[in-house]
Structure 1
């Protein structure tokens, strides 16, 4: 399958990883951004005793994403990494590729989160300039009103160095380089996450999602509004994700 979707088996590029070494179980977590990544980091902080906070959701997102919070593959030598891949329990979580793309758009370009400011300045203004003829001076200056079609057009045209929030999951977690013991899914997140955690801790469990994903509820209508050729291009970009993780392009 890896050859069919032209994925490398090289281990050099699995950037979003967390390594935990403990008596009960050593594990290797490959993060896929926009798949409950913040909550996973909160859970791992509690599990690894990196905080005195006992309620997972009380940990701020900014603290969970602190630069040096967790050990990563780059902190280890090649022989150490090879040993981990052979002996550690390895897991990752994935999501429908186009739902994940829509989630990235909403989280980084549509909402008014503190973390969204950078994305609107870095990507929003560029997208408006490239994909909106006769854009207003305000839109060019702020980049805060990008449509999903404009964002999707940008993603479809700039795949050489995609941002990790919309980079294909197969490139982020490298399932052809890492023989994961568990590949959980966002659609069954709580159940799959607690299955993993039950092998690590008797006390820590994954937090309940406060409400059903609004992204999933509106995905079909959002995709139906895209030009057919653009949708086909997105499906090609995320082909490896569809095939490796058993998702259907058509909704």
Structure 2
């Protein structure tokens, strides 16, 4: 076979490049292309040969360049953060750090929320108490042991539930006092009371000329009322959250980590009294009035003589039972329940290592411990200042309401909040005898 090209134009050069592999297949010994071993000859001019070689060299150079780039990519002299381009050479090390933190870019290991190892309140025992007067030191040492027992109870129960994952809670970071305080508020557990206390610690409205000159007791109520700007959001403005994940973790680790709890049954009752028997319960965004109507429609018999526009306590409890039976995750509770979410789901009890567990049942001693330890001077004279308790407390009123429930309802409600009962060592022993069918 003889191929003869006597003066090919330069236009056929690409075609010739494609013919080379074909020619090879046709002429190699035993080639799979069915070649017969005949010699194939291409006759080209000198200029055509030079054109082919130039094209070949260009293709080879392009291939080498592409493979080299793939193996060793160039280091770019700029970086893009949230659609903004910054030249690395123009950004100082400090500015680069600020840009990373501002745009939420975390270094490896800067995880939020973190998982802190439960330590039985070990941090409290690292605080030097030698500088306190003897009487205060004796009280602090004794109360510290109580806090250690409470923290140990949490560790033991969390060990039985090892799959708890860290959750992002709406923590309040107080770095104004030493030691620092990080508090996780829980609805219906003195949260408003302690928001007011933190406002007092920040001297909120101390010099507000708009507040009239009235007796001190009345003036204090006005200072910390919504009318004069005392809202939960203001508290977080006065105690700003650290800017970066790394800073938050550092502050959390070195702080008194505070959680306030109460018996889960009195908390449920407090939620009922505050959210279910008011025409305009707060906050409006949670739509509690709509929930009231829904509960009545679902649980009140059509032929009932009860014409109240509000759910009864048994109706409310049955709603909680039916809604939450089978809940096992934080996500389920947080998405479907407002204001009576369990402590473990609200505050990440098993991953935050709370070293100061205050209980409403022992608030006098517990508050004294915190106020003394962190030198919260402004609170030393506040005494029993409680918000939302204008009438009888829910703990005192509990027997009246829980007598309306059956034993089965109490056990089912206990099952929904069992983790909280176990974590904080509460029982239903005092409640079961109150059930309306307990003596039948």
TM-score bin (small chain): 0.7 to 0.9
Structure 2 residue aligned with 1:133: 301
Unaligned runs of 5+ in 1: none
Match of residue 20, structure 1, among 174, 178, 181: 174
Q: What TM-score results when the alignment is normalised by the length of structure 2?
A: 0.50
User: Aligned to 1:8, what secondary structure does the other structure show?
Assistant: coil
Distance 1:87 1:149 in 2: 44
Provide the residue aligned with 2:398 in structure 1.
219
Greater displacement, 191-200 / 205-214: 205-214
Alpha-carbon offset, residue 76 of structure 1: 4.1
Equivalence for 1:229: 408
Q: Which residue pairs with 1:89 in the alignment?
A: 256
Q: Label 1:89 to 1:107 Cα distance change in 2 as closer, same or farther (>3 A).
A: same
SS in 2 for 1:193: helix
- Alpha carbons of structure 1 residues 178 and 193: separation in structure 2 relative to 1, 3 Å: same
Aligned residues: 245
Secondary structure of the corresponding residue to residue 19 of structure 1: strand
Deviation at 1:239, TM superposition (A): 0.6
Segments of structure 2 that go 5 or more residues without pairing to the other structure are 1-156, 208-215, 325-331, 431-440
What's the counterpart of residue 212 of structure 2? none
Specify the alignment match of 1:203 in structure 2: 378
Secondary structure at 2:413's aligned position in 1? Answer: helix
Choose from 50, 65, 75 the match for 2:231.
Answer: 65
> Which of residues 235, 243, 250 in structure 1 aligns to 2:422?
243
Contact 1:107 1:116 in 2 (8 A): no
**Normalized against structure 1, the TM-score is what?**
0.83
CA change 1:64–1:234 in 2 (3 A) is: farther
CA distance in 2, matches of 1:191, 1:203: 17
Q: Is contact 2:275–2:281 with CA below 8 Å preserved after alignment?
A: no
Distance 2:292 2:177 in 1: 46
Asked whether the equivalents of residues 7 and 176 of structure 1 are also in contact (C-alpha less than 8 Å), the reply is no
**Cα offset, 1:119, TM superposition:** 5.0
- Does structure 2 conserve the Cα–Cα contact (< 8 Å) formed by 1:85 and 1:179? no
Bigger Cα displacement from structure 2, 232-241 vs 93-102? 232-241
Larger relative contact order (Cα-Cα within 8 Å, sequence gap ≥ 6): 1
User: What root-mean-square deviation, in Å, do the aligned CA atoms of Structure 1 and Structure 2 show?
Assistant: 3.1
What residue number does 1:8 align with? 164
Bigger shift: residues 222-231 or 51-60: 51-60
1:34 aligns with 2:188: yes
Checking the alignment, whether the CA contact within 8 Å between 1:97 and 1:241 is kept in structure 2 is yes
Q: CA deviation at 1:241?
A: 0.9
